[in-house]
Amino acid sequence: MAENIKIAEQKRLNSVIQKINLAKLKQLKTIHHDEKNERIIQKDFYNDVRLRSTTYSGLMETGVEVRQKQQMLDQLNSEWHQAHFFLKRLQLLAKNPYFARVDFKELNSDQVHTIYIGLASFANEGKHYLVYDWRAPISSIYYENKLGKVTYQAPSGPHTVNVLLKRQFQIKNGKIVTVFDTKAAIGDQLLLSNLSQQSTPKMRNIVTTIQADQNKIIRDTSADLLYVQGAAGSGKTSAALQRVAYLLYHYRPSLTSRQIILFSPNQLFNDYVNHVLPSLGEHNMVRMTYYQYSDHRVPHFSVETLAQRFSDDNLTHHDQRINNLKNSLECFKAVNKYLGDLNHSGMHFKNIIFNGHVFISKQQIAKIYYQFNSNYDLSNRLDATKDKLLILLRERIKSEMKKKWVSDAIEDMDRAQLQAIQLSHPNEFQNVDNSYNFLAKHIVIGAFRRVRHIITNGLFINLNLQYLHLLNALPKYISLKQFGIPEKTWQNSLKEFINELDYGQISMADVSIYLYLHDRIAGSLGHPGIKYIFIDEAQDYTGFQMALIHYEFPKARFTVLADLNQAIFTHQRSHHLLGDLKQIFKGQTIHQVQLVKSYRSTQQITDFSKYLLPDGEDIQSFARNGELPKVSVEPSRGRELAGLIKIIKNNHKYGTTALIGKNLKQCQLLAKQLKQRGVNVHLIQTENQELVSGILVVPAYLAKGLEFDAVVMLDASRHNYANDEDRQLAYTICTRAMHRLNVISIHDLSPLFNAIPKQLYQLDD
């Protein structure tokens, strides 16, 4: 019976592939035809368009012909791009047209409908769909966790059908490898097969194995904030990327990939995920880190990097508490109160200088700024101030035109300069007086160009001094005591900040406040053209950062992905994340999804890792069997190194083994020692590197969001992982492993591992 099904399905598959190949040939002919026509039009363009410049009607006729030719070229170009788009889709389908079949009936009907689901839709000449795009409304019934009555969101509204059959295929190079029927959304057999594969340097799409809870994330179109809390390896990022593809399909053509931004943990992660959308036939969205966004906005500062944040061992308890305050949502609210008071007093300005002298003093600017009534907000007040300053500039230009330096400049102009100006403005040279006045104005405006630039761009605001004023005033708006900060400590921190400014440096905590202060004073409208924001590894974002991003992208809908158990920067503050988001998105539609099942790791690795967490019992492991994690305690660095080399040799069958250290310094030393012993390792020490297969040595903060066939946690000793804040880091490292996990310690194993039952790991002597 099973073999007969496979034969029948292969026959249909052959027919579909044949039709796809014919469609590919047709698209190639269209492309070649468009390219040929474009070359002909471009070649004959100047021959066909006769230039008639002697009469007005001749000029008009020439203009019409030029526009007609350009419209023809534009049309051909559009058709060419569309043909390429369809060809790309057909190439995706050619070797693997679909992965699932669903049979269903409409309610109160005996007619059975059959659909096949693949990466993209494909219809025959009669417009009958042979393959449905996985994102099509009807395709969602495949991802529901049952047979029988299933409701999906059709264009006309909710629609219920009776699902009779779900059939899954594994197809390779046009041949059905396996075919099986399932009652669940995705049968464990297919999922197990996919999860058992070796890791790759690029993330794969998960279209064939989307789970029901992931499908809710992907197809949500009504949430202003979609908040996903998911265990490590639960498919948060994968679901989010398929969600991007779904949104591009659902809202085409009103939504483009350039209107979607993914904030990711680091550039290494950006490179890791950059293949997913192209594999689904879509262009990549904009990808950036929070550091990249803020660093781009303040080019005159050197912003604290990811490596600096993680390797800064010099932070005192007071420093940490000050950072906690600056990073908090309470601080964001306090800054808003401060900004409200700036409407009455407190703005700091710079003198506007011309030729080494004060043109408009900062006192004059302040007087103008505060002369407007209380109905003006900060942005209106700044715009009105600019208008007044431009009036003063125009008056100064008029008076300056009569100065001797201007007449001297006119006399010094050479013939070539004069001729160029005359050709550009012939009407201004009808008589001597007009000519002189125009040249004088031209020279003075040029001389005052820098002044005009300063005024129109609001560069007369002393933003550095304003920020210091804000920090000095902040205790008036927020309780230092609430954060355990003495007043004297706060004042000392201001001196340290001034010292950092002198060196052109700014911390990640300060840059967020600095940017918000600038944008509110300048009346920046942010980026209203961006429609969707995705934030991955959101547990390491602060309340202030979240509020700032929400302000900067006022028209966007947000998808926020977090695992509060993996917070390696914010630690316990991460547990305030959802509460902060509810305040930030107050009055907007918030949907929450929790993913508790971990798919990345074997059952043994997941069960071992979750005991590192105080509430890890909620995490569910997927039933993929593997070997127990191995824990070894070595008496010395030398023995640790020998043990590592042995582990590396035993991992030869795996594509990638990651040796993950707590910090970069530890990784650099280890990589050097291994290379000296002839071990070929790749040290990942900056986020701008690309992932490769083989033996990797990588610091924990660069491993976030990534996965590897095998992982070795380096120096898991009491000394290295000493306190509770290290718990989440240890959990993050262990959950990077897909198939094999080794934990190696020098001397005493960290007490963080004491809670793990002995039967869940193998202790190597």
Residues of the chain with pLDDT under 50: 49-60
Same domain, 412 and 432: yes
pLDDT of residue 443: 80
Same domain, 707 and 756: yes
Query: Domain boundary residue among 95, 112, 142?
Result: 95
Phi, psi of 696 (to 5 degrees): -110, 145
pLDDT of residue 86: 81
Task: Report yes or no on 325 lying in a domain.
Answer: yes
pLDDT of residue 483: 95
Task: Report yes or no on 506 lying in a domain.
Answer: yes
Give the integer Cα–Cα distance in Å for 383 and 578: 37
Which residues touch 87 (CB under 8 Å, ≥6 apart)? 24, 27, 28, 31
Task: Report yes or no on 246 lying in a domain.
Answer: no
Same domain, 610 and 748: yes
Give the integer Cα–Cα distance in Å for 763 and 261: 45
Residues placed in the known binding site for ATP: 230-237
Whether the CB-CB separation of 111 and 105 falls below 8 Å is answered with yes
Same domain, 541 and 414: no
Same domain, 608 and 642: yes
Whether the CB-CB separation of 539 and 575 falls below 8 Å is answered with no
Same domain, 445 and 477: no
Give the integer Cα–Cα distance in Å for 590 and 224: 6
Q: What is the pLDDT of residues 460-514, one digit of tens each?
A: 999 999 999 999 999 999 999 999 999 999 999 999 999 998 899 999 999 999 9
Tally of structural domains, the chain: 5
Query: Domain boundary residue among 68, 95, 122?
Result: 95
Domain housing 20: 1-95
pLDDT of residue 694: 93
Q: What is the pLDDT of residues 707-734, one digit of tens each?
A: 999 999 999 999 999 887 789 899 999 9
The alpha carbon of residue 293 and the mean position of all alpha carbons in its chain are separated, in whole angstroms, by 10
pLDDT of residue 54: 46
Same domain, 575 and 479: yes
Task: Report yes or no on 60 lying in a domain.
Answer: yes
Same domain, 121 and 213: yes
Give the integer Cα–Cα distance in Å for 102 and 117: 8
Which residues touch 346 (CB under 8 Å, ≥6 apart)? 469, 473
User: What single string gives the DSSP state of each residue in 330-353?
Assistant: HHHHHHHHHHHHTTTS---B-PEE
Task: Report yes or no on 615 lying in a domain.
Answer: yes
User: What single string gives the DSSP state of each residue in 122-148?
Assistant: EE-TT--EEEEETTSGGGHHHHSS-SE
Same domain, 618 and 757: yes
Which has the closest alpha carbon to 581: 611, 602, 561, 610? 561
Query: Domain boundary residue among 219, 252, 278?
Result: 219
Q: Is 465 helix (H, G, I), strand (E, B) or coil?
A: helix
Same domain, 82 and 117: no
Same domain, 160 and 172: yes
Residues placed in the known binding site: 230-237
Same domain, 452 and 490: no
Q: CATH no. for residue 720? A: 3.40.50.300
Task: Report yes or no on 108 lying in a domain.
Answer: yes
Task: Report yes or no on 239 lying in a domain.
Answer: no
Task: Report yes or no on 516 lying in a domain.
Answer: yes
Residue 409 host element (H or E): helix 404-411
pLDDT of residue 386: 96
